[in-house]
Chain A
């Protein structure tokens, strides 16, 4: 049988065009978590705008009261209820000193007097008062973060780390505490103590940290069974070192996100208390108390309420945008909460 095995030579083959299937490996420079987060943050327009607005508002809060010759409490009855007026804007449609078609500057013969945000019914400069009020709001923001970090974070970490009966007791306490409406705690506290910054700070200390402690505990439960913790334990690390040196740096992203979200809530709490007349006592001003005062004469002098409302709204908006941006940057996997 002449069955020949087929023989091939080179000419039977040709090179296939595989240029579409060939891939070139991309090599990326390995980046640290924080650098990665920074790049993500920068590409988020809203967050950057929020951050810039916060910086601008903070700058005004520091410099604003110094720019004016008036102090936040200097009363000048001759200058009462003046509309906003800025030098050089006399003929424009805004900041021209005209309210309700009346130019009270001309009526009172105050030709060389300028109030950027106008004056209130006692003749106090609203520009200075608004920025003094902003200082209060920014102070509240700082306090809120500090409380989150000092109380909420540590409470959550400890509760999650020790587990068992300690965790059980600590969590039951939180459940009961969160069962009482904030509104009730805050108002009752203010009834006992005198209204003021100290009282508001204490009110925030009682209720402001629960959310943070829950986040810190959840993260702790996730991490404490991992190998690096076991390794640390084997090497003889104490509980303190494990909690704060090994685990804390790994959950810092979540902690920052959560503390940023508590800022708007804290500012809102202060503004709300001030609005119902339980805030900073006169003659000090906070944005909430300015809005509350302006509200009383809103239909006659709407400009009195405009400046504090706009600043408060911008501040809240900026902090929300910043918090959203930080969440997306620091924890891209986290769902909207």
Chain B
């Protein structure tokens, strides 16, 4: 990372500060406003999707049917996934990108501020359209978030709404990604060369390429679903010469890079936070960049490992098996780099660091189960069981979500100028890290024993682990209310302690954002900052 001397002359530009009134939030083009909108919206969706997860865990608390109809249960698993992926995790990272990328590269704003506004509002429109399906005849989509035909074509009135919602979310993501690429390529301060950029910026640059490449693919796939259902086409119907497996190939060509869209910015934030609290520069900066790029490239050539049981030719099974295993190499580079960054560091354990360390440990665990499932013959046993549910929740909850929490604790003092309550933060961390393991670890056992996913009832031998998992789920869900409390409390003044520009000890060595006042003024870097390269690089 580069040491930084910023020259900000905020006194010159007072012509447009924030507007008065609520209209400000609708027509704003300010990257900080839009970042805030994204973050608040994603936090709200985190609780909506979380409530759906609570319904799922309540129903699975005991064998037999307790609370909801099977159809509604399946709607819950489907909508929980869609809301969490497209409403919570992705927008949260776009929010961080909006807030932090201009501050980190010394830019005054995003490159295309009006499009930035539209991409946020299209996201809201898409999620509203999706949520409206919950109240429709025939219920919300219930065929799983992958929307596989022919099952999904049996959806009631909700189907076209769900499909158009995907289109809107896709347009929103593409606009956001184009904006991020244009910002990073065109708005960097002089001397902020590509290989001096913080890793969060790098990972987002690569993620943005993924998004532009895959969102149109998903849009095309759901468009074919729409025409198959309403316009007599036969893309996924063998009677007309089509193939339902074609949908799965297209979906996962989108879907596999999509899961990396959620994890690459996670890597970026972890690589930003860990060095600050280890008080060492990031170990292996350039290898981190190359590893991220390699993971992104590999993500495009491994998609059919989601379909090992679909009946592919043996050559396909073998190719996708070996290609998938390759991902472990760049991912291993990253895990070792984070560990080496902490090695002999003068570490302190504030809440952001706690979440980041537990991310490194638990994400690695999720990665290992991924490696298990990459082995095609073994995957026949794991496929569509709770083992895969445990796997991807380990890579999403204690990885992406934990790092989003870490990012919240790390940057809230910068955003608000107030310090959060460290005691409650630590309580939130310990409750989360213990309950998340009670919640998801038993699901490995359930899956290995053969419990299928997306079923509201189960055989009696799965009862104990399900009950334990549900208890963990309830504790985890309730613990997140602490985070909500801390966010609101910090915005309203927090501990009352005014934080410095740096907030964290010597943080300004690690990023340009810590050279700005806390909170930063409405417009920052209206003239480019001067960046002095440090000896670390």
B and A form one assembly = no
Give A contacts to B, CB under 8 Å.
none
Interface residues, chain B, with chain A CB atoms under 8 Å away: none
